[in-house]
Amino acid sequence: MWMRSVFRAGLSLAACVLAGCGTLMNVSTDGADTNLMLRGFDPVAYQAQGRATPGDPAIKAEHEGLAYRFASAENRALFVANPRKYVPAYGGFCTNGASYAIKAGGNPNNWKVVEDRLFIFGDGKAKDYWELDQARNIKLGDDYWENEMKDMPWRYQSYKRWIFKVPHYKTGAELEAELKARKGT
């Protein structure tokens, strides 16, 4: 058992070194915008208009070294006045992944606003699984983000938690079975 743990740790370290460590936030690059959050989607539109809306590259703001685009000057002004209200939770990584301490990719077309917080998901299934116990998953995600994930490059963090699972880990098959049981299918 001990040797298996050492082997896994070595494999994790080697993978991180070979692949690079990755960014701290889920950012992309588009044109002159590096460190672009939400793939250029307007962070305010999720709450103000209730939809995912591409931002205009000409209307942007920077917050904590990250670039944000907006669909309108009004949305930009709302963001500048209170950026913490609109910044996506968990650095824009998949919210369901955050509840397992994994920094997985987030797709800004899969989202949910809960109590003025923007949560991004990798896909619709991740959102469905997260919603199985939304309150618990928010608490887990918040705890993991603050105490383990926030300052760790995404590759390192994800590799570590794919190898060393959190105590409450559930496989995709387990989550799917739970989802089907709740839906009665």
User: Taking a C-beta distance cutoff of 8 angstroms, is the pair 1, 128 a contact?
Assistant: no
Q: What angle do CA 9, 3, 147 make, to 5 degrees?
A: 35
pLDDT, greater one: 8 or 88: 88
Q: Per-domain residue ranges for the chain? A: 25-83, 88-185
Residue 158 region, left (φ>0) first, then alpha (ψ -120 to 50), else beta?
alpha
- Using 50, 70 and 90 to split pLDDT, how confident is the model at 22? confident
- Reported as a single tens digit per residue, the pLDDT across 126-150 is 999 999 999 999 999 999 999 999 9
User: Taking a C-beta distance cutoff of 8 angstroms, is the pair 137, 99 a contact?
Assistant: yes
Mean pLDDT of 25-53: 95
Mapping DSSP to helix (H, G, I), strand (E, B) and coil, where does residue 179 land? helix
* Rounded distance between C-alpha atoms, residue 123 and residue 172, angstroms: 13
* Rounded distance between C-alpha atoms, residue 15 and residue 89, angstroms: 27
Structure tokens at 162: 């794919």
